[in-house]
A and B are shown apart, each in its own frame.
Chain A
Amino acid sequence: MKVLVAIKRVIDHNVRVRLREDHSDVDLTHAKMAMNPFCEIALEEAVRLKEQGIADEVVAVSIGDKSVQEQLRTAMALGADRALHVSCDTPVDSLGAARVLAEVVKRESPGLVLLGKQSIDSDSSQTGPMLAALTQMPQATFASKITIDGERLEVTREIDGGLETLSMSLPAVVTTDLRLNEPRYAKLPAIMKAKKRPIESLDMNMLGIDATPRQELLRVDIPRERQAGVRVDSVDELIDRLKNEAKVI
């Protein structure tokens, strides 16, 4: 079985985001970029499926300008067998990405598509379910456990208030939550080797896809910060203030 993993390049999760002076967008100039952490989990799961003999090929795909090749090389260093770069000069939104990925699915016919549950920049959680809709595949979002038994996939999902287990036939789309696994680090020899490996390239303009963003970003703002309040000296004072000042208990 072939596993397709979608990879997104995002700002490193340790970097504090700045705004452009005119508030037209965030300012990513010179910001450190990295693979979206949830995509790392998706990739790790694919590599583990291969190590267990369930998958025989792991294909990493990313959409964007030339810079996303950096994350595709990381993906190969972490165990992806092939990397596919769908090139485009302007960023795509979730629907655009899902349409591109649906085209890739048509060409690659994977048995399983793994994506992160959300990217830590737009925080939308949309691309996985959108891809599932466009390819008429079943979907399991927010996966914390994946079991494959022949043609059937059982996924435990993180839902509000607990866990839910679904069963579906393959091919399917799964988006990965935090607890699914703990991604490995790439080893130096693998990183060096991945630098020399070929990356397949596909021009988005040749796919005949309408990827016009469905939303226009009007402005960005920093939310009003909370101010630090008072220090209390004892549990008694805390209870007193919560009762008589804040009136919340």
Chain B
Amino acid sequence: MSDARILVIAEQEKGHLSSATTRVMDAAARLGGSVDVLVAGSQSSQAAQHAARLTGVNSVISVEDGAFDHMLAENMSALIKSLAEPYTHLLCASTTSGRNVMPRVAALLGVGQISDVIAIESADTFVRPIYAGSVLATVRSRDAKKVITIRPTAFEPVGEQSAASVSSADSTGEQGLVTFVDEQLAGGERPELGGARVIISGGRGLGSAENFRLIEGVADRLGAAVGASRAAVDAGYVPNDLQVGQTGKMVAPELYIAAGISGAVQHLAGMKDSKVIVAINSDEEAPIFQVADYGLVADLFQALPELERKL
């Protein structure tokens, strides 16, 4: 395994390295071998300094060019392909960016791609969830170059070391295929779902968009991120980027509170790896209670304000 030469493709936003990338480093460490990190974008040098201090990093390649902002797949994949030659493994987080860029990279290299890896068995054998996480598949890659996305929540963030060297590489530049127009980020004061320590999610039991304020009130007390079930999204209570589940975000916080969520398989697929699960639901038969460490059968409209008051 120690022959592996790994390139981790970092994600950065305005010079800040994503927390998902620090977890991909943990997966890289489990592969063994030497690990380089690629940081690309208009403010890459700042994020590159951070990447260089992550435990296990051998060297950092920084490519400072606005063409790589927003991880545009067409531009990123050309850059990664130009740097791929010496590497045995190319790793990125299985975020919406990683899942957008890495299959394109794999096809340009003429190899397969292994998505959403949650465990590393050896340099060529990996475990990944299929069928909405109801089955785990152990797969062996037949490719000399392995292009992998890593589920960040299945790994731990790595610590820090004394800084590794940072070098720059030639930019492959703008491929002229796509233009970024704008973005609308939910953001605000609350942490993002992917990296949050505590998450409170609401379901159809909330009954309306207005009632989601009850969830937000508790979230603010706990410094938690707000999530939702697909039913709540489909009912139009909240935007889809809050959706936790097979068709939304996969999360694994230390504490996950499900309020008014029945516990459909597709929702459980997205949160069942949380360390502690709390379910609050008025229906004592709700399947969510079967996975909850602590279950409270109660009326949400009393329990949530009480929780907010007493926390």
Contacts and interface: CB of A to CB of B under 8 A. Distances in A.
Interface of A: 11, 16-17, 19, 26, 93-95, 98, 120-134, 136-142, 144, 154, 157-169, 177-179, 212-223, 225-226, 228-236, 238-239, 241-242, 246, 248-249
B138 A26 contact: no
Contacts of B247: 178
B123 to A, nearest CB: 14
Given A95-B107, A228-B295, A125 B99 contact: yes
Contacts of A216: 139-140, 142
Contacts of A136: 177
A123 to B, nearest CB: 6
Given A216-B140, A231-B296, 6 more contacts: A120-B131, A124-B103, A159-B183, A169-B177, A229-B293, A249-B222
B249 interface: yes
Nearest to A221: B136
B113 A94 contact: yes
Interface of B: 70, 72-74, 77, 95-97, 99-108, 111-116, 125, 129-143, 177-187, 192-194, 198, 222, 230, 233, 239-241, 246-247, 249, 254-255, 272, 275-278, 289-298, 303, 306-307, 310-311
B99 A141 contact: yes
A137 B175 CA distance: 11
Contacts of B132: 120, 123
A123 B241 contact: no
Contacts of A235: 296, 298, 303, 306-307, 310
**What does DSSP make chain B's interface, helix, strand, loop or mixed?**
mixed
B177 A138 contact: yes
A215 B142 contact: yes
A26 B135 contact: yes
Nearest to A157: B96
**What does DSSP make chain A's interface, helix, strand, loop or mixed?**
mixed
Given A133-B108, A165-B183, A249-B255, A228 B130 contact: no
B184 A230 contact: no
Contacts of A239: 307, 310-311
B132 to A, nearest CB: 7
Given A94-B103, A160-B192, A214 B112 contact: yes
A228 B279 CA distance: 11
27 contacts: A16-B134, A17-B131, A26-B135, A95-B113, A120-B132, A123-B132, A123-B246, A129-B104, A130-B113, A133-B77, A133-B104, A137-B177, A139-B74, A139-B100, A141-B99, A161-B186, A162-B187, A163-B241, A164-B180, A164-B183, A165-B182, A166-B180, A218-B139, A226-B291, A229-B295, A235-B310, A238-B296
